[in-house]
Amino acid sequence: DNRLVRDHYLDRCSHPAATLYLFLVTVADSQGLSYYSDPAVSKRLAMDQITLADARENLIRLGLIAYQKPLYQVLALDPDPPLFANKTRAPLDQPISLGQIFKQIAGDLS
């Protein structure tokens, strides 16, 4: 999902956190669950338990995973908000007056 880059999630991840996230995304089932134990994850990623705990906490703070021992869950990223919630837009091939634009903006803000 390009939102990991566009919304700067990866910029806020430590390298161990990014490594853990890639692993969890790869091994998760259709519900985002991973049943790998911490010792198994540590061994697979050549990561000590303290580094793993720090990486996990980094991902939890970013809202990318949930964790309840022994389960990890990769969480869905927040959906993009719609650019225009108002469905009464004029067709693109017809001009719109500034007054109409300001009225629509005022209506969207209320």
Give tens-digit pLDDT for 22-52: 999 999 999 999 999 999 999 999 999 999 9
* Residue 13 domain flag: yes
Between residues 21 and 99, which one has the greater pLDDT?
A: 21
- What does the pLDDT look like over 90-107, one tens digit per residue? 555 666 667 776 777 777
- Are 47 and 16 in contact by the 8 Å Cβ rule? The answer is yes
Burial of 104 (0-12, 13-18, 19+ CB in 10 A): middle
**Dihedral sign, Cα of residue 55, residue 56, residue 62, residue 65:** positive
Q: What is the pTM of this model?
A: 0.69
* Residue 59 domain flag: yes
Average pLDDT of the residues of the chain = 84
Is 33 in a helix, a strand, or coil?
strand
Residue 39 structural domain? 3-74
CATH code for position 15: 1.10.10.10
